[in-house]
Structure 1
Amino acid sequence: MTPLALRHIGPPRLTAGLDGTARLDWDAHRRVHPEPRPLTSDRLIALAEEGRLHGRGGAAFPFARKLRAVADSAARRKRRPVVVVNGTEGEPGSAKDKVLLRRTPHLVLDGATLAATALGAAEIVLGVTDEAAAASLGRAADERGLSERARVVRLPERFITGESGALIRGINGRPPVPPGRKARASTSGVGGLPTLLSNAETYAQLALLAGLGPARYGSIGTPDEPGTVLLTVTGSARFPAVVETPAGAPLGHLLDLCGARAGEGVLVGGYHGAWIDGAAAIGARVSRAGLREVGGTLGAGIVMPLGRGTCPLGECARVARYLAAESAGQCGPCRLGLPDIAGALDALTQGRDTAAAGETIRRAARMASGRGACAHPDGTARFVLSALEVFAADADRHVRHGGCGRPVRGVLPAGTDARLRLEVDWSRCDGHGLCADVLHGLVRMDEYGYPVIPAEPIPARLEPDARKAVARCPGLALRLVARHNS
């Protein structure tokens, strides 16, 4: 992702000292952020509880509970734990953690080191996908003499890489996909050891909480959600940015700051988040509770206004196809449910089978939810179902008229590295279905037994599978063509 502008509402905290400088080195960082005083595990847990610190990676899990679970597991097993910073941020619309890792890495390391010292951790592991973030963290570890205690692990850039189980597997040298069996990192994580895993912003917030103390930390924000929130604002915003704002600030103010109109809807929480009505978005508050009141979620800290110049259903269909293709493809909800959801949404968008498409989407979403090896099917279902609710008028236009008359402008990012797309020669296709088997999640079979080929380019990571599908086609009906031919 191209580096976004950095903005703030009110005095900056996480982003303090970054005006006019690309990156805070060790000396510059210490001039802005005093070194936190080391704490015992009990005192750090008490601090996290008093500061009401929750995870900032999407699930919003209470950080004190994570600390206590790891401390108890380590004591019970008599093993030293590991601290993991999740800096993968594989979602196309997110950049907030990249800003922290690239520009103020020592703040993240302050929090990770504080936790590692309190828990007596053997190692700090920094999991990233971004090359610039990896380089910045490596330099930071050298600058503060942490090289022997901390290591950077770079993983493939995928939507599901940041899922906790996938990240642990990747660090352990295995394919970074969610495990088929759910396990708690606090019990058995990196190298089978008790592992404290949280995202980059959470550790940065921990460092601020320790440095400021609960009273000063909570002097802004809300009583239940003290401090600031770091958000990535993209979508139709004229001035996309990473914005630091006090929790509880009006979402409308944030949109104005980034030159964005709410339009018919605003996506909050990212692609595992939910759509909220444009009118409701203007009066909503940027907090977990505030967004929950209007049917949204803070999630991964992503805000994507849609604007009015694009087809809402078409935008959501693009994302649904992307999410289906980004799955690990190892459980039924991902292999079958997500392609069904994406295909039915495609049909509705294109004016095909409109009478049944809505019910097909809802049925597939119900079947996918709560049954996957990870939260990917649940998040995708939430995204699509909220779209049907918020964009009901647009869906009705598609049902009645076969479309809404607006183009799909690609306001919502759905992968940027694609170069090739699939074409099919229908005079040769006999509907064998091998292409759908090889490219599950991307190609599906229609009700007549023929493949539905996406119009968008194939994600670069799926190009080998696409070439395999072309080679295996018994009728020689498939071919790959360059993106610019579309």
Structure 2
Amino acid sequence: MAVTGDPRPGLGCVGAPRLLAGLDRIPRLDRSAHLTAHGTLPRYRPDELIGLADDIDLRGRGGAGFPFARKLRAVTRSARGRDAPTAVVVNGSEGEPSCLKDTALLLHAPHLVLDGALLAAAALGADDVVVAVTREDVEQSVRDAVAERGPAGRRVRVARLPERFVTGEGTALVSGLNGGAVLPSGQKVRTSERGLGGVPTLLSNTETYAQLGVAARLGAPEYRSAGLPGEPGTVLLTVAGSTVVETPTGASLAYVLELCGTDPGQGVLVGGYHGRWLDPVAARSALVSRQSLAGFGAVLGAGAVLPLPEDTCPAGEVARVTRWMAKESAGQCGPCVRGLPALADVLDDVLRGGGGEALEAVEARMTAVRGRGACSHPDGTSHFVASALAAFPDEFHDHAFGGGCGRRVLGALPLPRDESPERLVVDWTLCKGHGLCVDILPDVVRLDADGYPAKASMPVPARLRPKALRAVRRCPALALRIQD
């Protein structure tokens, strides 16, 4: 089922929606529309809420997949042991440009997230509930939702932090909320022991709280009626950096890609820029499931799914992302400050035809940063490059020894753009008015009275670049191009 609404990002569903329920009618669920779509929120005793999270095997949806019930128990034990108050933090930061699912929830269905956070706060006896975000539009949407709740929303605070890759790391997020630098601490500090204001804190991802809000209404048996027996429920995926899809676990990954108008292409990066590549055969066989993806050496992580089109250069795409990841360093330790830029440099050497020596240097640089960082960023970036080398060995070899693939780097792996947006340009000598471009890019293309694009040149926001590339490829008259 396609879901219409605010195209930032696009939304879609496989089967009946749960998290995205009601968004086929209106773009954002205010308090009234939220209650109409989802119903009132039942009350749960602390032991009942923990039991519910256990029964549905609710896990963190931010990447680590830690059991939510264990987090609740850990915060409870720590608070009792210290006779301390507790706090609840919603991690709504998405520093990775390939992930938009938390943004989608907080823009379109913020009350579902607040429901889950307030349920958890009630179970823990927490007075302080903080939603941490990085985008201005997301901040405003959450503030509006808090205001819509009236007096009941007063216990919720919204905090905006810098939009960086490392902001979502637990210790960095808590440090920022506590007024410090938004940087990983480099220490193994459990937020369940010492988090917001130094008190035991339940810190989890936006989608996790939204899933709790759904499960509290459905109950465990009904919640488990969707998805796999061992991984019940639904999951949100961000496909190609532009479309957020809700799907039951166990769905075919290839079908999800088809629903979004794409295919595995040269391969699919699963789990984002700390993730792993699936080759096309594996991508067509894989299910949306932790167990299935583990069989291919991949993890779902934060739910980013990035197919690589046939008409872009894999080596160039990987080098481009690696350079950006190096710039997103926390700047605190050698593996980040020196190791990641050096890794990006030697990847560029490979692209310039540096031969076997350049390929060996890539391996050496990856080895040098692994296991030595203050946070997981050096390891994650190194594993991303290693997975790419394994997925596209001929591409990197051909570039290193001077052949190359002859394809441009189209930017199919999304990255933020500091400069002005690219433009979608129409060649009037070729355009036949088929109208496919407006179907794919309704937020960019407008048609005139005769059914032709109203403008010859239209700005393309970075978040819509994957859709613009799709429009270029699908134009029957080959009348579109992307221009800087």
User: TM-score normalised to the size of structure 2?
Assistant: 0.83
Rounded to whole Å, the distance in 1 between the matches of 2:369 and 2:52 is: 39
Rounded to whole Å, the distance in 1 between the matches of 2:391 and 2:302 is: 20
CA contact (8 A) 2:92 2:133 kept: yes
CA contact (8 A) 2:74 2:192 kept: yes
CA contact (8 A) 2:398 2:405 kept: yes
Corresponding residue number in structure 2 for 1:400: 401
**How far is the alpha carbon of 1:360 from its aligned partner?**
2.2
Corresponding residue number in structure 2 for 1:377: 378
The 5 Å alignment of 1:192-203 reads: 192-203=198-209
Rounded to whole Å, the distance in 2 between the matches of 1:123 and 1:65 is: 20
1:158 and 2:164 equivalent? yes
The equivalent position to 2:93 in structure 1, one of 71, 88, 93, is 88
Rounded to whole Å, the distance in 1 between the matches of 2:329 and 2:296 is: 29
Secondary structure in 2 matching 1:383: helix
Corresponding residue number in structure 1 for 2:27: 22
Corresponding residue number in structure 1 for 2:466: none
Rounded to whole Å, the distance in 2 between the matches of 1:150 and 1:257 is: 37
Secondary structure in 2 matching 1:271: helix
CA contact (8 A) 1:234 1:303 kept: yes
Corresponding residue number in structure 2 for 1:127: 132
1:359 and 2:360 equivalent? yes
**How far is the alpha carbon of 1:36 from its aligned partner?**
2.8
**How far is the alpha carbon of 1:367 from its aligned partner?**
2.7
1:8 and 2:8 equivalent? no
Rounded to whole Å, the distance in 1 between the matches of 2:43 and 2:338 is: 50
Secondary structure in 2 matching 1:222: coil
Corresponding residue number in structure 2 for 1:346: 348
Corresponding residue number in structure 1 for 2:319: 317
**How far is the alpha carbon of 1:414 from its aligned partner?**
2.1
Rounded to whole Å, the distance in 2 between the matches of 1:363 and 1:248 is: 38
**How far is the alpha carbon of 1:402 from its aligned partner?**
4.2
Rounded to whole Å, the distance in 2 between the matches of 1:233 and 1:266 is: 10
Matched AA of 2:239: V
Corresponding residue number in structure 1 for 2:293: 291
The 5 Å alignment of 1:103-182 reads: 103-145=108-150, 146-182=152-188
Corresponding residue number in structure 2 for 1:264: 266
**How far is the alpha carbon of 1:42 from its aligned partner?**
2.3
Deviations 1:252-310 (A, max 9, x none): 10111111121221111111111111121011101111111122210110111001111
Secondary structure in 2 matching 1:275: strand
Comparing 136-145 with 163-172, greater Cα deviation is found at 136-145
1:242 and 2:249 equivalent? no
Secondary structure in 1 matching 2:401: helix
Comparing 35-44 with 245-254, greater Cα deviation is found at 35-44
**How far is the alpha carbon of 1:419 from its aligned partner?**
6.5
Matched AA of 1:157: E
Deviations 1:46-78 (A, max 9, x none): 211111001000111111111111111111111
Deviations 1:89-109 (A, max 9, x none): 111111111110011100000
CA contact (8 A) 1:322 1:415 kept: no
Secondary structure in 2 matching 1:198: strand
Matched AA of 2:235: V
Matched AA of 1:256: E
Rounded to whole Å, the distance in 2 between the matches of 1:419 and 1:99 is: 24
Rounded to whole Å, the distance in 2 between the matches of 1:359 and 1:184 is: 38
1:98 and 2:103 equivalent? yes
Corresponding residue number in structure 1 for 2:387: 386
CA contact (8 A) 1:275 1:387 kept: yes
Secondary structure in 1 matching 2:273: coil
Corresponding residue number in structure 2 for 1:426: none
Secondary structure in 2 matching 1:229: strand
**How far is the alpha carbon of 1:40 from its aligned partner?**
2.8
- Change beyond 3 A, Cα 1:419–1:337: farther
- Change beyond 3 A, Cα 1:340–1:402: farther
1:70 and 2:75 equivalent? yes
Deviations 1:206-232 (A, max 9, x none): 111111111110111111110001011
1:232 and 2:244 equivalent? no
Matched AA of 1:283: S
4+ aligned runs moved over 4 Å, structure 1: none
Deviations 1:79-130 (A, max 9, x none): 1111000001111111111110011100000000000000000210000001
CA contact (8 A) 1:38 1:117 kept: no
Rounded to whole Å, the distance in 1 between the matches of 2:222 and 2:273 is: 34
**How far is the alpha carbon of 1:388 from its aligned partner?**
0.2
Secondary structure in 1 matching 2:274: coil
Rounded to whole Å, the distance in 1 between the matches of 2:402 and 2:232 is: 48
**How far is the alpha carbon of 1:34 from its aligned partner?**
2.3
Comparing 58-67 with 364-373, greater Cα deviation is found at 364-373
Rounded to whole Å, the distance in 1 between the matches of 2:229 and 2:103 is: 28
CA contact (8 A) 2:46 2:123 kept: yes
Secondary structure in 2 matching 1:366: helix
CA contact (8 A) 2:359 2:400 kept: no
Unpaired runs of at least 5, structure 2:
1-5, 422-482
Matched AA of 2:333: C
CA contact (8 A) 1:40 1:119 kept: no
CA contact (8 A) 1:350 1:402 kept: no
Rounded to whole Å, the distance in 2 between the matches of 1:320 and 1:213 is: 43
Matched AA of 1:140: A
Rounded to whole Å, the distance in 2 between the matches of 1:140 and 1:408 is: 41
Deviations 1:303-350 (A, max 9, x none): 110011111010000000000100111012111221122111111122
CA contact (8 A) 2:352 2:400 kept: no
Unpaired runs of at least 5, structure 1:
421-484
Count residues with an aligned counterpart.
417
Secondary structure in 2 matching 1:151: strand
CA contact (8 A) 1:38 1:118 kept: no
The equivalent position to 2:195 in structure 1, one of 189, 198, 219, is 189
Rounded to whole Å, the distance in 2 between the matches of 1:165 and 1:326 is: 16
CA contact (8 A) 2:75 2:193 kept: yes
Deviations 1:385-439 (A, max 9, x none): 100000112112113334221111111112212479xxxxxxxxxxxxxxxxxxx
Rounded to whole Å, the distance in 2 between the matches of 1:35 and 1:114 is: 12
Q: Among the aligned pairs, what percent are the same residue? A: 54
Rounded to whole Å, the distance in 1 between the matches of 2:40 and 2:178 is: 31
